[in-house]
Structure 1
Amino acid sequence: MTLEVNCPTCQNKVVWNESAEYRPFCSKRCQLIDLGEWSFENHKISSPMKVDAEISADMIEDIEAMLAANEQDFFKE
């Protein structure tokens, strides 16, 4: 059974498998067109992001500890 999807840009059929390099797009061209649409803000996430109103001191300390632990490895790769 093969899964086929429509290319989000041109609506051509795309077989969804490992050999489809640009899936869900049919080509690099369609992939870049879509990226351009996002960069010009023609596509947007419609619902606002929800942020927890309460951030505890414990959470801040945990985040700072994680950042401090990873700071040395940040530029190694």
Structure 2
Amino acid sequence: MSCPICEKPTDPTYRPFCSKRCADVDLAKWLTGSYAIPSTDPDDVDELLDALEEAREEDDPKPH
């Protein structure tokens, strides 16, 4: 088995990676959303737009 990041042979200590560095690179990809699967569901787009609108209103509330 090879490391999914750099293709070197894996190290049992860091399996499935070859080193702590490659394990950290993989973790960073998860944390930044690089592994996210894009959605084509229109409901997801509507929810995103609603959430963005709510966030904008919280940042710049309209006077009552």
SS at match of 2:7: coil
2:6 counterpart of 1:14:
no
TM norm structure 1: 0.44
Larger strand share, 1 or 2: 1
Count how many residue pairs are aligned between Structure 1 and Structure 2: 39
Alignment gaps of 5+ in structure 1 = 48-77
2:21 counterpart of 1:25:
no
Larger helix share, 1 or 2: 2
TM norm structure 2: 0.53
Q: Percent identity?
A: 44
The residue correspondences of 1:38-53 to structure 2 (distance < 5 A) are 38-44=30-36
Alignment gaps of 5+ in structure 2 = 40-64
Distance in 1, matches of 2:38 and 2:4, equals: 18
2:16 counterpart of 1:35:
no
